[in-house]
Amino acid sequence: MTSKRNIYLDSKPIETAWQILVDTFKEHITPVETIDVADARGRVLAAPAIAVLSSPNFHAAAMDGIAVDAKHTFGASDEAPKTLVPGKDAFWINTGHAMPEGTNAVIMIEHVNVIDENIVEIEAPVFPWQHVRKMGEDIVATKLLFPRGQQINAYAMGALLSGGIFRVGVYKKPRVLIIPTGSELVQWHTAQVDQLVPGQVVESNSTVLGALCRDNGAQFDCHPMLKDDLDKITAAVTKAVKGDYDMVFIIGGSSAGSEDFARPVIASLGEVLVHGVTMMPGKPVLMGKVFEKPVFGIPGYPVSAIVAFEQFAGPLLRRMQKLPQMPARTAPVSLARKIASKLGQDEFLRVKIGAVDGKLIASQLPRGSGSITTLTEADGIIKIPRDVEGISEDDTTTAQLLRPLSAIENTLVITGSHDNTLDLLADQMRRFHDGIGISSSHVGSMGGLMAIRKNACHLAGTHLLDPDDGTYNISYIKKYLPKIPLRLVNLVMREQGLIVPKGNPKGIRSIADLADKKLRFINRQPGSGTRILFDYKLGMLGVAPADIQGYENDEYTHMSVAVAVLSGRADAGLGIMAAARALDLDFISVVTEAYDLVIPEQFYHTPNIRILLETIAGDGFKKRVLALGGYGVQKTGQEMFRQ
């Protein structure tokens, strides 16, 4: 078989694509199986559950004491106590035990005066059925415990067993076959990290999708990886749909390239229902029907794969076993800054969220569909509808929460310049203070000051050089935050310089060499302290930005700059020594600078900020900072300025 380039002929809106799935597979419900109640947690009843046993199925004592016929106690009082004879008209009993014949009440042991082993005395009467669990009090045989379609939870398991139901009929868990495809893939359990070559990718999607299948009540198997071979992929899908599998995923090969085989495989075996959905990420998702079973072409980019699953495959798996759809936890959020979006497609934007002064503030993470860390770092997801061009920072929108609201509300929001010690600080705080988190958004030093001005963060990281006097941060605070009471606390002193490949093959000695040798440079984003430092150094040298090849190409973190150099995208980039050292690159020092924290006075005395300040002042944090290389801690924790 041969292949040709696919074309998205008719991308569908999310709602339309989902309705096509529902209409096509409305009868595709898994068979019923009978299992032990003890194994039924999370499953859905296929038939009503009717009690066959009353609970309790006898009259049972609800207290420790003596069982009596209530009428024998009438008239007892403090002034005229009554005596009873154990074994005759009073019977010692423990909680839960069956009531002796002829008794209908229990006198609590603390209300019984023991005269001797043959006589007890009571000073108050009891009424019939006092402190007794009557037969059928909870469940009466023949009672409907649960209707069909009820999802069984831990409480329901107890009710079923108490009602004498030990086995139940439930819808079987769907079986999913996951087929990872791609000639570039290597399996994680056989991969040698130090032997991977450019172009090879560790296959992780099948593990992620398998876990998501379990989260949605399904079972899964992973097929051995298949190279880009149309005949082999076709054979694997054919065997799966003719066998016991209820759904098939072809991972990769759903896009429009000439080596993307999901569409021709499905088209040759059955029917392509949808190819392309107007959403980002996840646009290339493909849905088809083969031998009356759903077959998905799942995009290869990790975030696209996850979004495609969560929007379509996951909900369909739940529908097949009549599980209720998972409710989304949502909350209203305000944006730290405006978010632009393209018209014509729904966008699922990953965001960090923190509670600042009683409001939830969301800051967007990078949009790349290949960056699974944007999901691991995200606190929530904002859906931007396809008919909206963007969301203003003045608007309130709804975020789907990926973490509990209580955790988000206990998170310190740090906005501004990136530094490697922020991750270290977050870990150090968690070592001794469970539950306190740090959410850092890397928007540059100026972006951090603007977030302080908008009351959109608890503190900001900054390292802004004043070219007039060589000081850091204070002049910018006075200019941009003149009316805000705050404190400036040093986190670290750090070495900024040129990050260059191991061995410095271009013989770079200074920033001047970037222009003189016409080297490729990777910059930091506008508004970052590193960008301001670089522009200052260029001005001192009389070099125009246009003379720097790659000046317009920027990254948002020092580690991203270092990776750009390591990968060969750039010959050099300006960043911190710790980033170069982390990736075993060479470093040419340019300046020692102060990286400080700007803390508004309104937050300075809050418990979490006090814990943060205590942490950075501690010897444990300082030792870990020094181990990174390129840092000084002689001023760490000191207040540098107060306004």
| CATH number (domain holding residue 74) | 2.170.190.11
Whether residue 303 is found in the same domain as residue 207: yes
Question: Residue 5 above 50 pLDDT?
Answer: no
Across the range 305-329, mean pLDDT stands at: 96
Whole-angstrom Cα distance, residue 548 to residue 568?
17
Question: Residue 215 above 90 pLDDT?
Answer: yes
What is the tens place of the pLDDT at every residue in 287-303? 999 999 999 999 999 99
What is the tens place of the pLDDT at every residue in 508-550? 999 999 999 999 999 999 988 999 999 999 999 999 999 999 9
Does 426 fall in a domain? no
Amino acid, res. 478? K
Confidence band of 9 (pLDDT split at 50, 70, 90): low
Confidence band of 259 (pLDDT split at 50, 70, 90): low
More confident residue, 108 or 375: 108
Whether residue 252 is found in the same domain as residue 385: no
Query: Which residues does 1 contact at the CB level (< 8 Å), separation at least 6?
Result: 230, 231, 234, 264, 268
Domain boundary pick from 258, 293, 320: 320
Whole-angstrom Cα distance, residue 427 to residue 292?
50
Confidence band of 185 (pLDDT split at 50, 70, 90): confident
402: exposed, middle or buried (Cβ count in 10 Å: 0-12, 13-18, 19+): middle
Domain boundary pick from 409, 440, 472: 409
Whether residue 89 is found in the same domain as residue 158: no
Whole-angstrom Cα distance, residue 265 to residue 272?
10
* Residue pair 383/401 in contact by the 8 Å Cβ criterion: no
% of the chain residues with pLDDT over 70: 98
Across the range 38-43, mean pLDDT stands at: 97
* Residue pair 416/437 in contact by the 8 Å Cβ criterion: no
Whether residue 507 is found in the same domain as residue 613: yes
Whether residue 122 is found in the same domain as residue 154: no
CA angle (307, 312, 314) in 5-degree steps: 85
What does pLDDT average to over the chain? 93
Whether residue 305 is found in the same domain as residue 340: no
Q: Concatenated DSSP letters for 17-77? A: HHHHHHHHTTT--PPEEEEEGGG-TT-BBSS-EE-SS-BSSS-EESSSEEEE-GGGGTT--
Does 364 fall in a domain? yes
What is the tens place of the pLDDT at every residue in 586-625? 999 999 999 999 999 999 999 999 999 999 999 999 999 9
Query: DSSP letter at 313?
Result: I
Nearest-Å Rg of the Cα atoms of the chain is: 34
Looking at residue 255, its pLDDT comes to 62
Separate counts of helices (H) and strands (E) for the chain = 19, 38
Whether residue 393 is found in the same domain as residue 467: no
Does 430 fall in a domain? no
Q: Determine the 3-state secondary structure of 415 from DSSP.
A: strand
Whether residue 107 is found in the same domain as residue 220: no
Confidence band of 257 (pLDDT split at 50, 70, 90): low
Does 439 fall in a domain? no
Question: Residue 314 above 50 pLDDT?
Answer: yes
Does 70 fall in a domain? yes
Whether residue 153 is found in the same domain as residue 181: no
What is the tens place of the pLDDT at every residue in 481-516? 999 999 999 999 999 999 999 999 999 999 999 999
Whole-angstrom Cα distance, residue 124 to residue 141?
36
Whether residue 221 is found in the same domain as residue 251: yes
**Measured in whole angstroms, how far is the alpha carbon of residue 66 from the centre of its chain?**
56
Whether residue 212 is found in the same domain as residue 286: yes
Amino acid, res. 466? D
Q: CATH number, domain at 165?
A: 3.90.105.10
Domain boundary pick from 320, 340, 358: 320
Whether residue 312 is found in the same domain as residue 355: no
Question: Residue 376 above 50 pLDDT?
Answer: yes
Residue labelled with tokens 């001192």: 540
Contacts 24+ apart (CB under 8 A), 184-188: 185/225, 185/252, 187/225
Q: How, if at all, do strands 247-251 and 293-298 pair?
A: parallel
Whole-angstrom Cα distance, residue 643 to residue 641?
7
**Domain tally, the chain:** 5
Across the range 222-248, mean pLDDT stands at: 95
Token pair for 100: 């002796």
Question: Residue 3 above 50 pLDDT?
Answer: no
Which domain does 356 fall in, by range? Answer: 332-409
Across the range 428-437, mean pLDDT stands at: 88
Does 395 fall in a domain? yes
Q: CATH number, domain at 219?
A: 3.40.980.10
